[in-house]
Structure 1
Amino acid sequence: MAARALNLLLPSICKNPLVRDTAFLRLWTGITASGLATWALPFLLALAVLDGSLDATGLGLALAARTAGFLAAVPAAGVLADRYPRRTVVAWSAAAAAVASPVAAAGLGTSTLVLAVAAAVVGAGQGACRPAFQALTAEVVAPERRQQANAAMTIAVRVSVLVAPSVAALLALAVDVHTLVAGTGALWLVAALLPPRGAVAAPPTRSPFLREFADGLAEARRHPWFLAGLAALTAVIATGYSATGVALPLIARDRYGTEAVLAAATTGYALGALAGAFLVVRWRPAAPGRVALGGLACYALAPLALLLPVPAAVLVAAYVVTGIGIELFNVPWFTATQREVDPRLLARVSSVDFLFSYGLAPLGLALIAPAITVFGAGPVLLACALVCLAAPAAAMLVPGTRAFSRRL
């Protein structure tokens, strides 16, 4: 069935003008390389725990340091990517991560401090790339093709998530983990060197850093649909995503008695997200904002399936639908932001997006386990499901969310 679907999709993909656009292909490859490197580090560090090169404490410190670097860099990168050419910000950010990757490998098993500092630099490079790439996409891709471009980038990320664990595990049989961690620097070099130059020059004037960041916040406030959508996304990630990260492994073990359910659910989510990205390559609904927020509300199925004593197949199906829904939101959301926001302020507004939506995710992960301990899994999962439904529904009431636009 998968092969048949691919055969049906290939002709339309090959006829897509983006496939023949060299600038887009360079950008797509750079973003894909950065995504692979971003995914690879925590997985490889987990392998290092398994082979004894790193203990659990060191793993926690390294991942925390990477998250801290990401959060520190995102707001600064938004200002810098609007102040200087976006291509330059991408190059320096990814190059910093490329240099830090072999340093992290050197600290693995020898110095937790060196590993943590290097992981923080890698995280900062990752955080600095995100808003710069978002703004660079708007410069490289014509407005009428941006939804297809964003979908293509999402497809690359989801395929990487599905394929990369097996590839990394096979490589680990022949190459030690230290070499693989250092090798992620090569991916960051691709991200630094390959993307093309953008079409928009840096603004001729400069203001104090805080004032420029405040200008980005003011631009975000000019778009009520953006604030409403960001609030809904932040609420869903902090609750539904956290429920998946913390409760799914426990319920897979206690209710179903096998880790295979955990693997099937996470794989189903990735497959669903891949299907959702393919769906929005060409789909143009009459009310894209409503459809996107409806897709985001599908995340409620994850905590509901964990709450109710459903068969394992139903749980996996819920995660497939959840994956479809998240991409029904993501692709139109990124496309609308690139279309509606003042191009001079796009990187700053994108940094606000990443800072709140993904920046608060660790807080949700940190709080949900104690909440389950105090209140029990049932009430916490029910509360998460209600938030995942209520937040997008409330966002739909805000003017402009029907089409993610102030003009409608």
Structure 2
Amino acid sequence: MAITPAPAAAKSPTPSPRSVLRDTAFLRLWAGTTASGLATWALPFVLGLAVLHRDLGGAALGLVLAARTAGFLLAVAVGGVQADRHSPRSVVLCSALAAAVAAPLLAAGLGRSLVLMTAAAALAGAGQGACRPAFQALTAETVDAERRRQANAAMTMAVRSSTLAGPALTALLAAFLDVGTLLLGIGLLWLVAALVPGKGARTAADPAAEPAPRAGFRAEFLEGIREARRHPWFLAGLAGLVAVVALGYSATSVALPMISRDRYDTEWVLAAAMTAYTLGALAGALVIAVWRPRSQGWAAFAGLAAYGLAPLSLMLPVHPVAVVAAYAVAGIGIELFNVPWFTATQREVAPDKLARVSSLDFLVSYGLAPVGLALIAPAIEAFGVTAVLAVCAAACFLVPAAAALVPTARHFARTAPTSTD
């Protein structure tokens, strides 16, 4: 509620919070997150180069990447519990060091031991998975509430930039370095992610304080689920993510290369659409960093539903520019959802349960993508690409729209906030 100044006092404008980009603690956290993103996106590309150089077979590549995904999914839940139990900073340190150790093990096993490479890939995936919820919780500890939207926008811009810069930088370095050296370079990036971020607020607390007794892992994870259930808007958001990730994203991942080849007879549409999606996401992050919609939850769900334009554009015999434009709009929309979603989670969820609730988000986002990919291809063979794309586009539009009707979804808050953050 606004406070009326005393009559004798001169009105002064409310000071705007200092830019998060001038905060040294946040910049260290951002640098660590960026390094982890570059390492994450570079690894599959480097392993692909190993196939081209005949150091790794196609079947072996699939096994190594599957082990990485399995390690990621297992560690997301564990990392969330440990970040709440101890501190996000300690989990970032340990998990990033684990991923750093995995890099030279991958290099040692390259062309020599598939068993070693598979184990190292699982370790690398575990490090990546445990980092994700810990970084979310560490952001909430490092940045005050007024600047978290800006901080989350900067974080997501780092992730999106990594999807472009990681493979591109790797391809450039591959002209001068062999695959083993590139893998060691990925290990160095993980060392940056481990060592550069500073301490969060909880880490900087009195070290002599007696820690409270903790329940077992299962009990604490279930406690995180109960906390998530206290926020209907969060459960609604997860439902929207299921539709977009498991159906929309998976369908377009399978269909776009096929349609680029068969309908347009060129790889240009595939490359241009994926680039437009990433550039759109960067633009969306810039927009939402400064835009404050009055009903931020409804605006976020509208952005999430915009992904339906991607499968819709692939259904219709449109000009390839329309496909590229649809992917650009989808990229903008996904960040109009992501940034308020992360910010609201950091604001609404109890701080000592934030990492566990964030781990549920990543489990849904990353865990259902392989399931969707495994089911979409057989569905296309059985029903045809147009029918599958139609169902997926409808799900992308309708499920977020239904989620927006859930109580508390309008503002991503249990009670209407006095500000949009």
| TM-score normalised by structure 2 residue count | 0.92
1:168 aligns with 2:176: no
1:256 aligned onto 2:256: no
Contact 1:234 1:358 in 2 (8 A): no
The one-letter amino acid of 2:131's match is: C
1:159, distance to aligned residue in structure 2 (A): 2.0
> Of the candidates 345, 356, 362, which is equivalent to residue 364 of structure 2?
356
The code of the aligned residue for 1:174 comes to F
Question: 238, 245, 255: which one pairs with 1:247?
Answer: 255
CA offset digits 1:339-392 (Å, max 9, x no partner): 000001000100111112221111001110111011110110001001101110
Residue 395 (str. 1) matches residue 403 (str. 2): yes
For residues 288 and 323 of structure 2, the distance between their equivalents in structure 1, rounded to whole angstroms, comes to 25
Compare 45-54 and 245-254 and name the one that shifted more.
45-54
Aligned to 2:7: none
- Do structure 1's residue 36 and structure 2's residue 30 form an aligned pair? no
What pairs with 1:129-208 in structure 2 (closer than 5 Å)? 129-200=131-202, 204-208=212-216
Q: Is the 8 A contact 2:102 2:124 kept in 1?
A: yes
User: 2:303 touches 2:337 (CA, 8 Å); kept in 1?
Assistant: yes
Determine the structure 1 residue equivalent to 2:235: 227
CA distance in 2, matches of 1:120, 1:235: 27
Query: Which string of whole-angstrom CA distances, capped at 9 and with x for unpartnered residues, describes residues 157-197 of structure 1?
Result: 22222233322111101100111012100010011111111
In the alignment, structure 1 residue 365 sits paired with structure 2 residue 373: yes
Equivalent residue number for residue 291 of structure 1: 299
Pairing of 1:338-353 with structure 2 (within 5 A): 338-353=346-361
Whole-angstrom CA distance in 1 between matches of 2:141 and 2:258: 45
How does 1:96-107 map onto structure 2 within 5 Å?
96-107=98-109
Aligned residue identity for 1:367: L
Q: Which range is displaced more, 265-274 or 199-208?
A: 199-208
> 2 CA distance for matches of 1:370 and 1:16?
52
Provide the rounded CA distance (Å) in 1 between the counterparts of 2:107 and 2:157: 29
Letter matched to residue 337 of structure 1? T
- Tell me the amino acid that sits aligned with residue 195 of structure 1: P
**Percent of pairs with identical residues:** 65
Q: CA deviation at 1:31?
A: 0.6
RMSD: 1.2
Residue type of the partner of 1:30?
Answer: G
Aligned AA (1:94): A
Q: Where does residue 27 of structure 1 map in the other structure?
A: 29
Aligned residue number for residue 13 of structure 2: none
Aligned equivalents of 2:323, 2:54: Cα separation in 1? 34
When structure 1 is superposed on structure 2, of 24-33 and 99-108 the one drifting more is 99-108
Given that residues 300 and 336 in structure 2 are in contact (C-alpha distance below 8 angstroms), is that contact kept between their aligned partners in structure 1? yes
For the residue of structure 2 that corresponds to 1:360, the secondary structure is helix
More helix by share: 1
* Aligned counterparts of 2:226 and 2:171: Cα–Cα separation in 1: 46
Amino acid at match of 1:255: R
Per the TM alignment, residue 18 of structure 1 is displaced from its structure 2 partner at its CA by 1.4
Q: How many residue pairs end up in the alignment?
A: 394
The amino acid that maps onto 2:235 is L
Which amino acid in 2 is paired with 1:393? A
Distance 2:332 2:68 in 1: 28
Structure 2: distance between partners of 1:194 and 1:205: 30
Aligned twin of 1:82:
84
2:53 to 47, 51, 54: 51
Separation (CA, whole Å) in 1 of partners of 2:108 and 2:78: 28
Matched, 1:383 2:369: no
Structure with larger Rg = 2
How far off its partner does 1:42 sit? Answer: 0.5
Which whole-Å CA distance do the structure 2 matches of 1:60 and 1:132 have between them?
28
SS of the residue aligned with 1:359?
A: helix
Q: Deviations over 1:106-135 (max 9, x none)?
A: 112221111111000000000000011100
Match of 2:286 in 1: 278
Residue 329, structure 1, aligned to residue 331, structure 2:
no
Name which of 292, 317, 324 aligns with 1:316.
324
Gaps of 5+ in 2: 1-16, 206-210, 417-421
User: What CA distance in whole angstroms lies between the structure 2 residues aligned with 1:19 and 1:305?
Assistant: 38
Counterpart pick for 2:72 among 49, 70, 73: 70
Q: Which residue of 2 aligns with 1:304?
A: 312
Deviation readout 1:121-159 (Å, 9 max, x if unpaired): 000000000011100100000000000000001112222
Kept after mapping to 2: 8 A contact 1:103/1:182: no
Q: Amino acid of the residue matched to residue 373 of structure 2?
A: L
Which one-letter code corresponds to 1:99 in the other structure?
V
Q: Distance in 2 between matches of 1:95 and 1:165?
A: 22
Equivalent in the alignment of 1:6: none
CA–CA distance in structure 1, aligned partners of residues 365 and 169 of structure 2? 30
Q: Distance in 2 between matches of 1:178 and 1:225?
A: 46
Give per-residue Cα distances to partners, 1:4-32, cap 9 Å, x unaligned.
xxxxxxxxxxx962122110000000011
Map 1:103-114 onto structure 2 (within 5 A). 103-114=105-116
Q: How far apart are residue 58 of structure 1 and its match?
A: 0.9
Q: Is the contact between residue 39 and residue 166 of structure 2 (CA under 8 Å) also seen in structure 1?
A: no
Write the letter of the residue equivalent to 2:278.
A
